[in-house]
A and B are shown apart, each in its own frame.
Chain A
Amino acid sequence: MLYVENLSKSLPNGRVLLDRVSFSVKPGEFVGILGASGAGKSLTLRCVLGLTRPDSGRARLVTSNGTEFDLTGASGRRLREARRRMGVIFQGFHLVKRLRVLDNVMIGRLGEISPWRSWFYGFTDREAAGAFEALRCVKMESCAERVTGTLSGGEMQRVAIARAMFQQPELFLADEPIASLDPSNSLAIMKLLRPLAAATPVVGVFHQPEMTARFCTRVIAIKHGRIIYDGAPELSHAKLEEIYGNELMEVLRPAPVAPAPAPSPEPAHSAGLELAKLA
């Protein structure tokens, strides 16, 4: 369970970045956080992770065995213990490019093993087998030995998910996991996240309301650092207009990132084909 209570943060010049952001996440939830750029979505996640410290308010993580972690006040060893229990799905290009895919997945367990062992011995065969299993879950086991920097964006994103899965966390945090992907890859990633959420809650920052409407169980919208919507994933057009303002058109019709596929009368169908190839 994640409890976020009255997170506030402003810049020294007085500009408010977060304004009393509060929400909690229960098991089984797949929460999508939406908002225009600069609204404070990623900053909220960073506060939960202890990467940025809020001016006031706090975030707590209560694990399944009842241990409670103060995420906004902790530092040093206590903060590392808390982070170990949260699997962060960063954008794929945050992986260590020169390591093999398998090594990147095993990084997920670094918090569990002693620094001495990780320095001088590295990972055990059992950990390697577990990481390989995680790669199998995201259909990337054939790339385990490849240098991570040689993968495509969609492949790296899958590896990032495998890393978070291998961590076996109490909560997944996804920071714009599909922001740099083309529509078919985005769909594939969302289809991976959905079943994860059934076992372990997922909180993700997204830019595509049509994706959150389809896959999330709940949507939180942030505008100017304040939560303006928290509820069912399907949003009315008026609500979207309120959330995105003049960015709305961009959000509803995202520019294709990948080399544009031949225009087909039924885009969803081609995405399905892409998925079939992945499976």
Chain B
Amino acid sequence: MTTAAGLASERAGGWRRFRRPFLAALVLGALVWWSAALCRVSLDELGPALVKGIEVGGFFLPPDWRALPELLQPALVTMLLAAVATPLGLALSIGFGLAGARNLAPEWLRMPARWLIGIERALPELITLLLLVAALGIGPFPGVMALAIGSIGMLGKLIADAIEEIDPRVLESVESVGATRWQTIRHAVLPEIMPGLLANTIFRFEVNVRSSVLLGAAGAGGIGFELNKAMSMLEYERAMTAILVTLALVFGAERLSDFLRRRVLDGGKLK
């Protein structure tokens, strides 16, 4: 009821109005406290840890600039891993996207394709990498494959969804001239999804650069591997340089991706 009298009578409820949020906060608080106790999180440790942290932080300074030249090549490797993995991932994603679109693929193909995309999205790249390392050994190749497969979860789903949004009458009108299914894909489906596809791929490149640092630390090589090595050998100044190089790399990739995406989307807009 939205009359003034109705509102007034609802407001007259006193503390009852707060009962529900209060109970919710109580339950949530209890859950958080319980979880903290289980994981042995204790605020008592925060004070000493802070002091220790500042002390250790001092070890990282100043960064060891002499290490910079030998860190540039690993940084490049990290970038290249992403650069190789993104088109590879795009190719895989287009395959999964076409197979997962209701208006193109028959149901027996679409269901497994959608399932695989969903499973892939649930699987962290690190786990993919560990599985691939077990099969292929340590090195950049399993890293590239992990990133490429990791792209399917996002790009594959976006592509399949974009295809399903195409007006079915457009596809029908192309098929009505006697075109095959593949010709329809080439001359109607791909042109319609292209600007969004490019923008998402460029964004995925940015994500891949970031993931590539992490996967590097887990054995795929590159700047992440160097950082991990320096840390475990207690060469903190060198580690600091690696961190700064990583920051520059990721920030650079982000700016590049932003710039390219804006270009692509502006160009694809229907003025």
Contact = CB atoms under 8 A, between A and B. Distances in A.
B16 interface: no
Contact of B178 (A84, A96, A119, A147): A84
Nearest to B179: A110
Contacts of B175: 83
Contacts, number: 82
A209 interface: no
A214 interface: no
Nearest to B189: A96
A84 B176 CA distance: 8
Interface in B167-214: 167, 169-170, 172-180, 182-183, 186-188, 191-192, 194-195
A153 interface: no
Contact of B176 (A83, A97, A115): A83
Nearest to A147: B270
A86, A111, A147, A167 pick with most chain B CB within 10 angstroms: A111
Contact of A88 (B167, B170, B176, B191): B176
Contacts of A269: none
Contacts of B177: 83-84, 87-88, 107-111, 163, 167
A146 to B, nearest CB: 10
A99 interface: yes
A21 interface: no
Interface residues of A, number: 32
A24 interface: no
B180 A96 contact: no
Contacts of B271: 147, 150
B63 interface: no
Interface in A139-185: 147, 149-150, 163, 167
Contacts of B195: 98
A86 B167 CA distance: 22
A94 B180 contact: no
A110 B184 CA distance: 9
A197 interface: no
Contact of A150 (B169, B173, B187, B270): B270
Interface of A: 49, 51, 80-84, 86-88, 90, 94-99, 103, 107-112, 115, 118-119, 147, 149-150, 163, 167
- The 6 A-B residue pairs whose C-beta atoms are closest, nearest first, are A111-B178, A84-B178, A110-B179, A149-B270, A83-B178, A94-B173
